[in-house]
Amino acid sequence: AASTAVSAAISTAARNGVLIKGGRYLEQIGNVDVVCFDKTGTLTTTSPRMETLVTRNGATREDLLQLAYSAEIHNHHPLAEAIKVAADAAGVSPTPHDVCEYYLGQGVRSVVAGQTILVGNAKLMKRFRIKLSEVAEQAESISERGLTTLYLARDREVVGLFGIANPLRPEAVVVAEKLAAQNVELCLVTGDEARTVTELSRRLGMDKTYSSIMPDGKSAVVQELQSTRKLVAMVGDGVNDALALAVADVGVAMSAGASEAAMEAADIALIRDDLGQLTYVRDLSRRTTSIAQ
Ligand code: ADP
Ligand code: MG
């Protein structure tokens, strides 16, 4: 009887847009002690928006958008999309680039019309030894507004900063409240900076917040939680989440914007763009398990 109930529940879930890759994941999602969330694209909408732009050293707003767009043209990260949308709106078109290197959780390095362009966070700038002391105040005031700060460097000189808004999904607060009411511990595990995520983390009532985490660091956080004998779910959407999704007891992909790597690594995929499916599948799991026993 148990297996009939479980397979019926898996088909019901599939009809409702939740793909479960096996009966044990249906069972485990209802029993997890901790849910770890990625931020960008998972708790926030998949379409962030360029909110503010700071120009420096003679570069214009259009210059910045043009260089960033050209550097990020092949990138599908939500932040790259925000740059593209802002460039399109300003009537700016991209220049083909020569080199294009993506540093997961950091940003991109590209060569555009003979100029070396870096677009990314402070870690990327540090990696290439770009001086940030002169823009420290500006960066701080951007991230204190809860915006993601990106630096743009041209030939080793910071010529601009972007502040990108990453609004919460409308359903995120309710999902977090429901999980907390069921005594699930909530963790935020993000590549973004602490000062950008403080407010978001507070609004969602996160029990723990891990910020500035590199992709391999996300799986280390999951393992650390598991080592305290907790059953851990990880919810994410990006290439940078794939390892953590694989390591977690239950990996859940938010698949409307998810990368193929995340989809493959996950045990459960939420194929509608709705985080509420997470609480839906947990409720289904708990009902099914009580029938099966
Ligand atoms: P999250 O863990 O919140 O989903 P990511 O790991 O995808 O975030 O990204 C972490 C940080 O890396 C971003 O906040 C940004 O600073 C930087 N970053 C990632 N991808 C890009 C990109 N394509 N362009 C610029 N910066 C990027
Ligand atoms: Mg993400």
For every residue of 39-103, DSSP letters joined together read: -TTTTB-S--EEEEEEE-TT--HHHHHHHHHHHHTT--SHHHHHHHHHHHHTT--PPPEEEEEEE
Indicate which atom in ligand 1 lies nearest the CA of residue 192. 14
CA of 105 to the centre of ligand 1 (A): 5
CA of 190 to the centre of ligand 1 (A): 9
Average pLDDT of the segment spanning 104-115: 94
Indicate which atom in ligand 1 lies nearest the CA of residue 196. 14
* pLDDT top residue among 293 and 267: 267
Which of 33, 38, 207, 237 is an active site residue? 38
Domains in the chain, please, with CATH? 2-45+168-292 (3.40.50.1000), 49-165 (3.40.1110.10)
Place of tokens 């003979």: 114
Quote the pTM value: 0.90
What is the ipTM, given to two decimal places? 0.97
Is 38 labeled as catalytic in the residue annotation? yes
CA of 113 to the centre of ligand 2 (A): 30
Give 257's pLDDT tier (boundaries 50, 70, 90): confident
Confidence check: pLDDT of 293 > 80 = no
The listed range with the strongest mean pLDDT (73-77, 271-275, 278-282, 286-290) is: 278-282
Q: Provide residues with CB under 6 Å of ligand 1.
A: 38-41, 72, 75, 77, 79-80, 105-108, 119-121, 148, 150, 190-192, 238, 240
Q: What's the whole-number average pLDDT of the chain?
A: 94
Which of 39, 40, 125, 152 has most ligand 1 atoms within 8 Å of CB, for mutation? Answer: 40
> Can you tell me the distance from the alpha carbon of 264 to that of 242, in angstroms, rounded to the nearest whole number?
8
